[in-house]
Structure 1
Amino acid sequence: MTDAAASAATPGPAALDPAAAPVKPRMRGWLHAGMFPAVLISGITLIALTDSTTGRIACTVYVLSACLLFGVSAVYHRGTWGPRGEAVLRRLDHANIFLIIAGTYTPLTLLLLPGSTARPLLWAVWVAAAAGIAFRVLWVGAPRWLYTPCYIAMGWAAVFFLPDFMRTGGIAVLVLVIVGGLLYSAGGVIYGIKKPNPSPRWFGFHEVFHSLTLAAFVTHYVGISLVAYQHG
């Protein structure tokens, strides 16, 4: 096989995501790159200020999932990768979304719910995350209309437990959890429909999506911090 034929036979970024390949806005990845050290420092602070062993373990899971989300995303979106590197990093980037959802649930569930309720919910969330990770790793080219709703649905899986969150954590925690969820969901919708796309050259729809994930993470971080300091 000639080099030209081999190159033609190897799927590139356009084959993985045709809509994303033609234009890469100059701000792509910078938001998550800047967020990574902030997440690391604030995460270590959260863990250090949590008193109980359960709280520290739960917050460690949360912080690690956040570091993976923002760190891998920054590497993936800032770099220029060949077909293989693109495929591997894309798999990791998308799998980490399921990971951050389960990671966020972990401290909220363990610190706000009684053990008889927390254990089955946490098992369900992490099994769903494992299934979602396998789905994105094994089918990296799945259409957005299929996998984006999976993220949103999993994010709201504990909606029926929100009254329990409020009873234990208070109204402020409930509001922060809901607002963070709405921000994540809005970002997911924008990612799915690829609109609005304000400046394809500098700040496109993907950057709007990343901005909302930052706002959602900060909102949830504040809520989890309140929970950890009060109940951890």
Structure 2
Amino acid sequence: MLQQKPLLRGRIHQLAFYITIILTLFYITISLIKSYKYELTLYIIGQLTLFGISSKYHLTDWKNEKTKKIFQKLDHISIFLLISCTQSSFVLTLLPKIEIVNKILILTWTITLLGILKIICISNEYEIIDVSLYMIHGVSIVPFFHILLKYINISKMFYLVFGGVFYIMGGVVFGMHRPDPFPSVFGYHEVFHVLTVIANTCFMIPLLQWYYGVINGVSIGVDNCSNSSMGVSNMDR
């Protein structure tokens, strides 16, 4: 007998998907009137991909096992894509045009490519392996923190760090299947989804602040003192 899915399985990411669509429509409107930025578009694509595929996979009452497995793989692939889209958007918007940006981009997208190949070619028998890969991918930016601190002010780093903490907490919950507060309605997987939405919100705030600065002609998010001492003009961003 198949285990009954919790009542709210997939609903949290479905709500996040709808909210992202609304924000996307606002962004498209503003970009047509004011300024289009591919960096923010990349972030939005990552959000729409993950929340859309995740809600579709978890809400569907699958009749065809083969189709279900395909969407399960797409669901897992979308996590790698989300992490890379988020990291890429963050460094492209909040860092000046320095060499380290390219290194971070190469690293994060290489991990995503390897992760996608793993999901496609290797069975998903051991869930802990995938969870570990997601967490490694997420913290792959940590070795660059000493450089990020030279250019990004404390408030933006606050969001970056706390977003990462919520993601790691989500990974731990997903891997341990605990806590599982109300299994028939709101189980461990729903806790995991809530934590991912909170993490995404932490990353979204500085990106929206940056875009607000762009459309209003104000430099927001880069540490002015650090940039001056490093000989980098705020006009680079």
* Shared fold per TM-score greater than 0.5: yes
Number of the residue aligned with 2:72: 90
Match of 2:92 among 78, 95, 110: 110
2:127 is the alignment partner of 1:144:
yes
Distance 2:22 2:66 in 1: 32
Structure 2, unaligned runs of 5 or more: 214-219, 222-236
Moved more, 105-114 or 168-177: 105-114
Cα drift, residue 95 of structure 1: 0.5
TM-score, normalization: structure 1? 0.83
Distance 2:35 2:137 in 1: 28
State how 1:1-232 maps to structure 2 within 5 Å: 22-46=3-27, 48=30, 56-81=37-62, 82-113=64-95, 114-228=97-211, 229=213, 230=220
Cα drift, residue 115 of structure 1: 3.0
The Cα offsets for residues 65-110 of structure 1, whole Å up to 9 and x where unpaired, read as 1101000111100011120121011000011000000000112112
Given that residues 165 and 173 in structure 1 are in contact (C-alpha distance below 8 angstroms), is that contact kept between their aligned partners in structure 2?
no
Distance 1:99 1:169 in 2: 24
Given that residues 32 and 210 in structure 1 are in contact (C-alpha distance below 8 angstroms), is that contact kept between their aligned partners in structure 2?
yes
Cα drift, residue 227 of structure 1: 3.4
TM-score, normalization: structure 2? 0.82
Structure 1, unaligned runs of 5 or more: 1-13, 15-20
Moved more, 71-80 or 157-166: 157-166
> RMSD of aligned C-alpha atoms?
2.1
Distance 2:203 2:83 in 1: 11
Cα drift, residue 166 of structure 1: 3.4
Cα drift, residue 46 of structure 1: 4.9
Given that residues 7 and 184 in structure 2 are in contact (C-alpha distance below 8 angstroms), is that contact kept between their aligned partners in structure 1?
yes
Note closer, same or farther for the CA distance 1:159–1:52 as it changes in structure 2 (3 Å cut). Answer: farther
Given that residues 187 and 213 in structure 1 are in contact (C-alpha distance below 8 angstroms), is that contact kept between their aligned partners in structure 2?
yes
**What percent of counterpart residues are identical?**
27
